[in-house]
Amino acid sequence: MMMEEDELCFPQLLNTSCRRPQRPHSEAVLAHFLLYSASLLTATLNLLVIVSVSHFRQLRSPTNLLLLSLAVSDFFVGLLVMPIEILMTWTCWVLGDLLCALYFFLPVTLISASVGSVVLISIDRYVAICHPLRYPVRITRSVVTISVCLCWTCSVFYSIFLLYDHLKQPGRYNSCHGECVVNIAGDVDVVVAFIVPITVIILLYLRVFAVAASQARAVRSHVTAVRPQPVTKKSELKAARTLGVVVAVFLVCYSPYYCVSLTGRDILIGSSAEAVMSFLMYLNSCLNPVIYALLYPWFRKAVRAIVTLQILQPGSSQTNMLQRH
């Protein structure tokens, strides 16, 4: 049966146009409200993290600079990627095949940068807990800044490598006009963006929690070794636990997408199944600042200062954000 013209993305292309997504109006309104609210919340919460670490000098520690890198990628996920993904799921793609291929550089780069930032956070906690005396020397602001710049640079080049074929032949996987899908090398992506970083993260955190547990047992039993070992600061242990929660949530949100790749199936980026798994990954961008708010007193204090506009006062950047009340 011939499709009605109002159901086609491009009515003038009767034989090659995609069918316009048709959903009940009430369902569409509710879904749009929830999804755009999640997008706005993600961008807002991560912007608060960015402003907090950037404004208050006391918060510019090496660890928080890594959190800043993660927050920047999460911010752009909420500001740009999630709204476009919502439009792509519920409407036709009208910007052409080339812009379709170019668009996907954004989410691939941001997700790769997020993964890289989490790996750097794990390395930071490993050195802080397992080698506390060497931490101030090895993990400096300059070292972290260079590491973050390399992380983002590698993410950009990785996305170019992954999507290069689509620039040479845009739209090669589109089944009709009005669709925007790309196909990436599943084996390459699952190894580079999931298996290798996840293995590194898990191994480092297993070591971190093993050392933290041994130190806790030593403190409880009041055992003093013949050659005393350096004891990690309590604040560092608390930071390790907090960032451990961040890593755990990261694994939960990212695993479904890459587990499909592990089955040997290629994922059509832009398909409805991919959209569901992608939004689960994007949810991680919203959950990270929520974790900070629940577990970091300095973040709650910084948010109060931002919301009440105290940061506009002269000298507010020198405020003691780590002081306990």
The CA dihedral of 219, 200, 274, 26, to the nearest 10 degrees, is: 20
The CA dihedral of 286, 292, 293, 299, to the nearest 10 degrees, is: -120
Check residue 226 and give its pLDDT: 44
The CA dihedral of 171, 174, 177, 179, to the nearest 10 degrees, is: -100
How far apart are alpha carbons 21 and 157 in whole angstroms?
34
Instruction: Tell me the sheet residues that pair with 17.
Output: 177
Check residue 110 and give its pLDDT: 93
Each of the 325 residues of the chain gets a pLDDT tens digit; together they read 344 445 777 777 767 787 776 666 676 778 778 888 999 999 999 999 999 999 999 999 999 999 999 999 999 999 999 888 888 777 788 888 888 888 888 988 998 999 999 899 889 989 988 888 899 999 999 999 999 999 999 999 999 888 888 778 887 777 788 888 777 666 778 888 888 998 998 898 888 888 877 766 666 665 544 445 555 566 666 666 777 788 788 888 888 777 776 665 555 555 566 667 777 888 889 998 888 877 888 899 999 999 999 999 998 899 988 765 4
Burial bucket for residue 226 (CB in 10 Å: 0-12, 13-18, 19+): exposed
How far apart are alpha carbons 126 and 8 in whole angstroms?
55
How far apart are alpha carbons 157 and 270 in whole angstroms?
21
CB-CB contact of 208 with 129 (8 Å):
yes
Domains, the chain, ordered by start: 26-219+231-313 (1.20.1070.10)
CB-CB contact of 275 with 88 (8 Å):
yes
Per DSSP, which regions of the chain are E strands? 182-183, 268-269
Nearest to 34 by CA among 72, 90, 114, 75: 90
The CA dihedral of 137, 141, 143, 146, to the nearest 10 degrees, is: 180
